[in-house]
Amino acid sequence: MRFFLLLWILLSGYFLAAQNKQTITTRVGHAPKLDGVLDDEAWKGVAEAGDFITNQPSFGKAASQRTSVKVVYDHYAIYIAAQLYDDPTAVRRQLTARDQHNRADADHFAIFIDTYKDRQNGFQFLVTSRNVQSDARLSANFSGDWGNYGDVSWDAVWDSRVAMNKEGWSVEMKIPYSAIRFSKDSLQSWGIQFLRFSRAHNETSFWNPVNPAVNGFVNQFGDLEGLKDLAPPLRLSFSPYISGGYRSNPPDPSGNRQQEWLKSGGMDLKWGVNESFTLDATLVPDFGQVISDNKVNNLTPFDIQFQENRPFFTEGTELFNKADIFYSRRVGRTPAGYSGVDALADNGKYSVVKNPSVTPLYNAIKFSGRNKHNLGIGVFNAVTRPVNAIIRNQSSGRDSLIRTEEMANYNIVVLDKALQNRSYISFTNTNVLRNGSAADANVTALDLGLYTKDNRHALFLKPRYSRITGPDGYDGWANYASFGKVSGQWQWNLGSSVESDRYNTNDMGFLLAPNEITTEGSISYNVFTPTIRFLQQRYKLYAEQTNLYKPYGFQSVQIKASAFWWFKNFWDMTAELVLNPVKYYDYFELRSNYKKLMRPSWFYVGLSGSTDSRKRLYGYWNIGFAESKDVYNDMYYRLNNGIRYRFSQRFSAELSNNLQSDNGQVGYAFEREANGEPIAALRKVYDVATVLSGIYNFTPRMNMTFRGRHYWSKVTNRKFFTVDGDGNWIDRPFLNGRDQNVNIFNVDVFYVWDFRLGSRIVAGWKNWVDPQSTNDIKTHPGYTQNLNQVFNMGHGNEFTIRFIYFLDYQDLRKKQPLL
């Protein structure tokens, strides 16, 4: 009898501990006035949500400061009022750009809403103590670790105000129904969460506890009750734009400089097809005002994956990215025949009159949303224009057209079903249809994630199939499977992936190399409660073996061990040890039908960390050292460091320097023997990238940013080899004149003014040198000499201004509230 009594007490305690908090909202007849002062009639008598629990730096304690939150709603919007009690002099209030709250020395408050209560997806709306907004779309892919709660590239149109008072600071938020999606049910219950971050204490607290040892974030929300007779509005908005500018390209080798006036106009449209789904369209898009890519001297056989900066391709794309087979930079890519045109000019018979480096778009649309049955649907379509280059015959002066890219149609279809216990099943298909004889491509992916009821273990299956159609068509497949313990202090995972030799996702996705079999396992130990010296500790051991799929062959074995410590003074440090214990083989480097290249065993030791980011001066570093036992004098080291200084609440600047030196890199020499066999090189590679950036915030909605980057890569060949059938290096005569000295330089300056909700003016200046221009390696052997010479080169300049005006159908109707 005592046993059953004890069991009942333990189970009762478990269910009570796991029970979600609830708060009740009230419908109001008159919306509160948005001024940050909580004295409106609408807030009187409304239920309060309080008793926040800490998440960082330690979990489970009562928040150091009291927070009170109220929620009301009317026919148009949901309204939130929060009083954040504190010593007013302790509230940090730095201005920053939108969506940069994690980099600001400012307190902030956020509300998270799971309108369909599937415990996987939702919305975030955040306000700092200076009324700087941030918003994000939440999905199962984001865990909330280190403040990353969702996809902040998504931007909605909503309003907020903050005010300082003798008890701390207060905030009022208005989230119109047009900014979110919900069902038509007469009585609704939403998942809801409130967050408070106190910068002075580096303390993150939540209304409903969020345990960092529990996998997932949205599944740890509380509940919002009392929503009745909500009427999803007609969500229809237009954002017409006009833009203009001037571009002067760097001079070509003959001194000619291409110049052009830039002019464009178009429109973005958002239409809520029903209460769940939205159609986004961009007509005649112009993506000129984006930050420059971090280009490098790519010696590898693989593409470089660049960050997507075009707003249409970053906002609300979490559904399309779930299967990880969509790399949006493929849409509007560099034309396939771009480099071939430059090669024609190298022979001296032709000069290039025009060779566009970007494929422009006619239009693009996104249809996406999630219904009350927890089914997410996404459809993406983009049509790109054909691209022509113009070359001139130097002898006759006659111009000729060369088609460098055919017109193409890019499509994605996604079906994502949220199941019980955070489980899900997703179907994704991407396809590219090209005009003429150019090859078409199709990839299909199925993703299945199954979580146990207690959310402690999970199984993932990810089969894929690809097909290239055309005269030389082929197909391929891949699969990934893993099972592990995903919650708790101890976590582990076992997984395996197989990619066939003809598996190809690169027409719309990003895949470094197919034709591999990888088996991996990991175990980690996580301490989220403070000790005498540490706030948090994490230790992880990871091992993998990789083999070539066809023809089957051993590639490598790698073991990684890492440790992370977060100290009481809010400094952090990570130590890493990587070991390749045996010789291994690279089947891709020589670009010769999987001809293998032997690589020696090696080890790497690294140490990284950062200081307390609350201070005016903040620093971070990453140092590492690697060595092998089989190659003489092949030491590798890296030294990455940076400092950020906050001059005032409006202005901050950051300087970073990343240096890598590899004295024994072995790779393809970009040369072949007379019989076609590849030549390998043992070379010293020295890369340095320096970035100076800063931001000045005039107001919460007006700022100016600048970013300058200089990248230098010096490649000095030491020896050249042929490679036998076993991958061994065989000495051959030295090749002169193959050293490289590459300089890349960019400056980006942008002024942004959000002069009304959803509307903005953007002015930009971009300056660059031609990456194909090189300095003589003998006369400019050092970094400083190369940097000085960069300023003496011919630069390109681009000046642009864009005007975007947001028009909302509900505002145009001037509809009165229906009570």
Rounded percentage of the chain residues whose pLDDT exceeds 70 = 94
pLDDT at 347: 65
Q: List, for residues 382-423, the tens digit of each pLDDT value.
A: 999 999 988 888 888 888 898 999 999 999 999 999 999 899
Cα–Cα dist 248/43, whole Å? 57
Distance separating alpha carbons of residues 153 and 155, to the nearest angstrom: 6
pLDDT at residue 528 is higher than 60: yes
**Phi/psi of residue 330, each to 5°?**
-70, -25
The structure tokens listed for 737 are 């004149």
**159 alpha-carbon distance from chain centroid:** 26
Sheet of 350-354, strand order:
350-354, 387-393, 399-405
**pLDDT (mean) for 434-453:** 93
| Distant-in-sequence, close-in-space partners of 676: CB < 8 Å, separation ≥ 6 | none
pLDDT at 6: 40
Section 5-22 average pLDDT: 49
What percent of the chain is modeled with pLDDT above 90?
Answer: 65
- CA distance linking residue 208 with residue 195, whole number of Å: 9
Selection from 273, 403, 396, 409 nearest residue 336 by Cα: 403
Closest CA to 281 of 298, 268, 291: 268
Per-residue buried b or exposed e for 643-656, using 16+ beta carbons within 10 Å of the residue's own CB? ebebeebbbbebeb
Inter-CA distances, 504 with 372, 405, 439, 515, Å: 35, 20, 13, 10
How far apart are alpha carbons 497 and 481 in whole angstroms? 6
Mean pLDDT check: name the lowest of 133-137, 346-350, 437-441: 346-350
Task: Quote the distance between the C-alpha of residue 592 and its chain's center.
Answer: 33
* Residue 283 pLDDT: 84
Confidence check: pLDDT of 4 > 50: no
Report field, pTM of the whole predicted structure over 0.75: yes
Burial pattern 573-585, b for ≥16 Cβ within 10 A else e, equals ebebebbbeeebb
Rounded to whole angstroms, the Cα distance separating 705 from 97 reads: 9
What CATH number does the domain located at 21-233 have? 2.60.40.1190
Contact assessment for residue 595 and residue 723, using Cβ atoms and an 8 Å cutoff: yes
Write the pLDDT tens digit of every residue in 245-300.
Answer: 999 988 866 667 778 898 888 898 888 888 788 898 988 777 777 888 898 999 99
Output the CA–CA distances (angstroms, integers) from residue 421 to 25, 188, 190, 338, 457, in the order listed.
26, 20, 17, 50, 11
337: nearest Cα among 259, 264, 258, 434? 434
- DSSP assignment, residue 512? S
**Which phi and psi (to 5°) does residue 43 adopt?**
-90, -5
Mean pLDDT, the chain, as a whole number?
A: 89
Confidence of residue 798 (pLDDT cuts 50, 70, 90): very high
Q: Choose from 25-34, 139-148, 459-468 the range with maximum mean pLDDT.
A: 459-468
pLDDT for res 19:
63
pLDDT at 692 over 90: yes
- Strand-pairing partners, residue 693, are 654, 707
Question: What are the structural domain ranges in the chain?
Answer: 21-233, 303-511
The larger pLDDT score, comparing residue 10 to residue 712, is at 712
The whole-angstrom separation of Cα 644 and Cα 532 is 29
